[in-house]
Amino acid sequence: MTTPPVCDYEGSDYQTSFWDKGGREYEDRTEAIALQRLLPKRGRILLELGAGAGRNTPRYLGFDRLVLLDYSRTQLEQAQQRLGNSEKYIYVAADAYRLPFVDGLFDAATMIRVLHHMADAPKALGQVKNVLAANGIFILEFANKLNLKAIFRYLLGKQEWSPFTLEPVEFVKLNFDFHPKAIRQWLGGLGFVIEKTLTLSHFRVGILKRIIPTGVLVFFDSILQWTGTLVQVTPSVFVKAKIVGRDGIPPAGQDGILSYFKCPDCGHSPLVDNKTYLECSNCKKKWGVDQGIYDFREPMR
């Protein structure tokens, strides 16, 4: 199966350079508020797509079990160091375009700062839909091409691409901004109903972040987030979407962790547990399990 290219974070110091030392406290705190507003307080099992180093994971602790999925093994190792190896966390190295989970497994999923890297966003969103249970909740963050800075730059002739058209813009290789209407159309086409939209990072301007205390910016951003229902012109947008019309999907994953997985190549489940790998009895592929990380990126040789 051919899938779109992956933006590779293997070996990246993203968590340290972008978040811990990158002056992003304002963005991090506004995201925490948005997640608190959108995410169900409790649940059985949540999938965090593109979990990275687990920056947001502690915000999902109301769920009994958290599955952290990322293509980068080193990001997952950083998440393990942050969160530990409790039974609550399941670490999965896999491609968001070919998820290794049975249909209808999760009662919630989040994808924060990840769609940004998707050359084929509808394909990735379709994968999320498949693994959600009936009435499952999906919290999606996307980078918004219709942001004020892009609008002004375009109107002043300083930017070639139009922020008003629906197609994604790839401003750096494998980094995409999306039009809010395109996101709504894709989600709607897959059977999602958008329940809430919040706009974030109203004050993501260097000089404001330098001269105004972060707490003040966070406070005003948290109020303005609610305007997202009416208009979305900030660089970051969060939506809460519910999947409808999947009532026929039987409950999944009731028989322990092994029953969560399917072979990402042929779709067969259950896989056979051989301790250091899971084996597909249909296509015979073997998927490694090493240091607490299930690896579904490439079959073992």
| One residue of 105, 112, 121, 182 binding ligand SAM per CB under 6 A | 112
Residue nearest to ligand SAM (CB): 52
Q: Contacts with ligand SAM in 161-190 (CB under 6 A)? A: none
CA distances from 7 to 24, 36, 128, 227, 278 (A): 21, 28, 18, 32, 26
Nearest to ligand SAM of 28, 279 (CB atom): 28
The answer to whether residue 147 forms part of the interface with ligand SAM (CB under 6 A) is no
Q: Which stretch, 50-58, 146-154, 163-171, 201-209, contacts ligand SAM (CB under 6 A)? A: 50-58
Nearest to ligand SAM of 20, 273 (CB atom): 20
The answer to whether residue 119 forms part of the interface with ligand SAM (CB under 6 A) is no
Nearest to ligand SAM of 123, 286 (CB atom): 123
| One residue of 27, 39, 47, 50 binding ligand SAM per CB under 6 A | 50
The answer to whether residue 262 forms part of the interface with ligand SAM (CB under 6 A) is no
Instruction: Please classify residue 163 by burial: count the beta carbons closer than 10 Å to its beta carbon, then call 0-12 exposed, 13-18 middle and 19+ buried.
Output: buried
Nearest to ligand SAM of 96, 237 (CB atom): 96
Q: Contacts with ligand SAM in 64-93 (CB under 6 A)? A: 70-72, 75
The answer to whether residue 104 forms part of the interface with ligand SAM (CB under 6 A) is no
| One residue of 46, 55, 104, 150 binding ligand SAM per CB under 6 A | 55
Nearest distance in Å: CB 140, ligand SAM: 11
| One residue of 27, 95, 107, 221 binding ligand SAM per CB under 6 A | 95
Query: Binding residues for ligand SAM, per CB under 6 A?
Result: 6-7, 9, 14, 50-52, 55-56, 70-72, 75, 95-97, 112-114, 117
